[in-house]
Amino acid sequence: MYFAALLARTQDGWQASDTELDDVETLSDLTDLAREASVDEDTVLVYIEQEDAWFGVVRVEGEEDPRIYVSDAAAAARSSYGEILTNELLGGDDDDPADDLDTLDLDGTEDGEPDGDDEEEADGELGPGGELVPAGPVGDRDILMDLGLSEKELLALDTDALLVIADAVGAADVLETVR
């Protein structure tokens, strides 16, 4: 089960609204949803969580590219909305075949290639496209720094992250109206 909320900064503080993600299939859709909630192209935070498994924050400011943070990439990659965020962060949804290493005919003898015998298992899981998705946080760890939540505090969040984030940015009271 998912919960999603939009926190839009205004001249008078923050406005909160819960939102349905049924029509969101891409990061572009999510960004458009945030921009529609924006007041005078000010900051909008999109918060998505899946019951104690992971949470994500997308920060949209005007026409700038969105900034993204996901608390646990491996857990998020197993969910439809989390996969949207992790694909963007990890480049798993790249349509440019020139950038796809699988199209290169590499046999492992190129300079800089490690021997296959000495490889250790990496932390993480395979994503839907077969790419390795790291366990743990990914993305912009300074996404909320200027709003009052440091990287260290963000990395320490687990359950009830939305309440801590809303409190840090000064939106706890308005968030309670939609929670």
**Over the stretch 45-92, which tens digit does the pLDDT of each residue have?**
999 999 889 999 999 999 999 999 999 999 999 999 999 999 999 886
**Structure-model confidence comparison of residues 177 and 112, the more confident one:** 177
Distance separating alpha carbons of residues 15 and 174, to the nearest angstrom: 6
CA 114 to chain centre: 31
| Residue 120 confidence (pLDDT) above 80 | no
- Render pLDDT for 134-165 as a digit per residue (tens, 0 to 9): 889 999 999 999 999 999 999 999 867 988 99
> Would you say residue 168 has pLDDT above 70?
yes
Local confidence band at 116 (pLDDT 50, 70, 90 cut-offs): very low
Q: What are phi and psi of 168, to 5 degrees?
A: -65, -35
pLDDT over threshold 90, residue 36: yes
d(CA 104, CA 97): 10
Q: How far apart are CA 16 and CA 157, in angstroms?
A: 21
Residue by residue, DSSP assigns the chain as: -EEEEEEEEETTEEEEEE---TT--SHHHHHHHHHHH-STT-EEEEEEEETTTEEEEEEEETTSPPEEEES-HHHHHTSHHHHHHHHHHHTTT---GGG-GGGS---S-STTPPPGGGPPPPSSEE-TTS-EE-SS-EE-TTTTGGGT--HHHHHH-BTBHHHHHHHHHT-HHHHHTT-
Bigger pLDDT: 113 or 36?
36
Cα separation of 153 and 59, whole Å? 17
Q: Which pLDDT band holds residue 127 (cuts at 50, 70, 90)?
A: low
pLDDT at 3 > cutoff 70: yes
- Is 33:5 a contact under the CB 8 Å cutoff? no
Single pTM value for the model:
0.79
| Interatomic CA distance for residues 73 and 132, integer angstroms | 10
Separation of alpha carbons 13 and 171, rounded Å = 8
